[in-house]
Structure 1
Amino acid sequence: MRMRPLGRTGLEVSELCLGTMTFGTQTPPEDAHAQMERARKAGVNFLDTAEMYPVNPVRAETVGRSEEIIGDWFAKTGRRGEWIVATKHSGEGLKAVRDGAPISSKTIPETVEGSLRRLRTDVIDLYQFHWPNRGSYMFRQNWRYDPSGQDRAETIAHMEDALEALERQVEKGNIRFFGLSNESAWGTCQWLRLAEERGRPRVQTIQNEYSLLCRLYDTDLAELSANEDVHLLPFSPLGAGFLTGKYQGGAVPEGSRMSLNAGMGGRKSPRVFEAVAAYLEIASRFGLDPVQMALAWAARRPFVASAIFGATTLAQLEHALGAAEVTLSDELLEAIDEAHRDHPMPY
């Protein structure tokens, strides 16, 4: 398993990160614990969760359950030290969590304490803001994104307030490092600027959607990553499951995400299936498994620290772990870029 630096933290993380958003709904606790065991055996040392997990769907009665399941494994095994743990503070608008309260110096202490309690740990290695208070162009909002109504002064004041609260959490030893999620280049630059000017915790990572089907990160944010060592943690590197090929030809496997969310969060369209067909053909042409090809491609991008993948079952996890052994030739990468030009941003 290749290891990569995590921002400027000094930590080294595995190029694959175990995502846990199904722990507690599609993946029962015993299966989740088996996944953690198998992933560690394969060399994965990084896991990602969030206070709002599990998903599909997010419900008030299950908020925090994924963290609890992870914490139960730590308590049972005594092996918390083997993992670098990332979790997230939900942002404004999610009614299931604190009735949709925004990120602020008021909510940060209580959310950190809640995650520490559920994870049964003394410290969170990477604490992330799940999405900006001001909104985001992620989640398929990019097509009609309009930031013209934003209040810059309000945003900067919020950032200063949040960074001060984060610093207090670092001083208490509750969190080690800070990351963002679903952020923009401008937003990340402001977090970096304010942290440097005021000596506050520095942004180390950005967790945004990124895959063969969603390459929004490739321009301004990639340049930011290269110059500021703020590394990407791609989520949905398999395109929410589309890149497995399991939905081609109108198929909807029982228990799959599409069986629970027919529109796939706005991702489902005829163009997606055409793009997936192109990548499946490339995988076949080069003698690769499409899941492993897509995961390895996302993990090996120069601005990526670790690609976050989730598995409903242990068999799916085993399959995905094979990405660590995949070699990406120059010819393969050229074919992928050609397919991207033919099928840009299909959702």
Structure 2
Amino acid sequence: MFYTENEIMAQHEALKETFTYFMQEKPRIEQFFSEYPKRKFTILGCGSSYMLAKSAQRAFSRYEDTSAIAVAGGDFLINRDLYAAFVKDSIVITLSRSGMTTEIVRAVEFIKDNYGCPVVSISMLKENDVSKFSDLELTMDWCYDKSVCQTRTVTNLYAAVLMMAGFYGGDMDLVYNLRITIEENELMKKTYRPKLAALAELEWNNAVTLSDGIPCGIAEEGALAFTEIARIPGRYSNVLDYRHGPMVLNDCKTMNLVLIKPGNKELQKGFLEDLKAKGGKIITVSCDKNNIYGSDLHIFAGESVRFETWGIVFIGIIQMLAYEKAIVKGCNPDLPEGLDPYIVL
């Protein structure tokens, strides 16, 4: 078994541990927010974690009188002046698998030295380089991926983001619905993996992931999963916005994965009809138990009533499909050529 397969198929165990860990840390997290009652957040990441930072930006800024910005670590290093006005007087949150990526470490060091911002670091290694700059450190070493491509790590980072935002906003409904999604995760994977394996056998050579709202970042990470794990082009777009240019590249060799948000179903159904006309395969994920969209595979998002938690279902489906496609192509999903687990400058 490849590391990637094990890390995807067993990530429900890590998710349960992450949920328990954050519930145990809830008093410490809430104490931090009471000590630093700032209402704006700078969220830093690189690569996959930068994509998750985009989800975190939306997750925090949904709450009243709160603003947030997602910034790539390398972008900050090159454009410090551009972000200075926002970063000042903000809470900085770093998302990282290793806590060792140079862009993140240098960015946080600069912010601490020049602005003195409180820093929350979320990573998967207890011994890391961001730790010494952190006012609140949260580490989840049970989530660290041995494969170069992140699967279990990003899924758990996304869960961590939702729990942090829920604690910040006093939104325990989000937290409780996240628990429902986590409890259903193992069965979801067992139910749909054979169907995804069958779709992986078909002749498609590029993939598109489509989502709106808070799951946008984890959906963009899903596009990267196709690129890194299966070595095929993966692209992300907002659902309706996909019509505005990117759809020109969609064809009969495209695999489309669409996360359907409740409400405005007619708008989304109309979009899916346009997508079908391109001739590619379509996978839909929604709260509907029946396939009312006419997609090639429809996946029930589960009993959670919070759309943002469905991002965990969506990324799980994407990761399994990317893995199965890699096996069909004869790729080693653990070792994409020319990539390293983290970047040291």
Q: Give the TM-score taking structure 2 as reference length.
A: 0.32
User: Which of the pair is proportionally richer in helix?
Assistant: 2
Name the TM-score, length of structure 1 as normaliser: 0.32
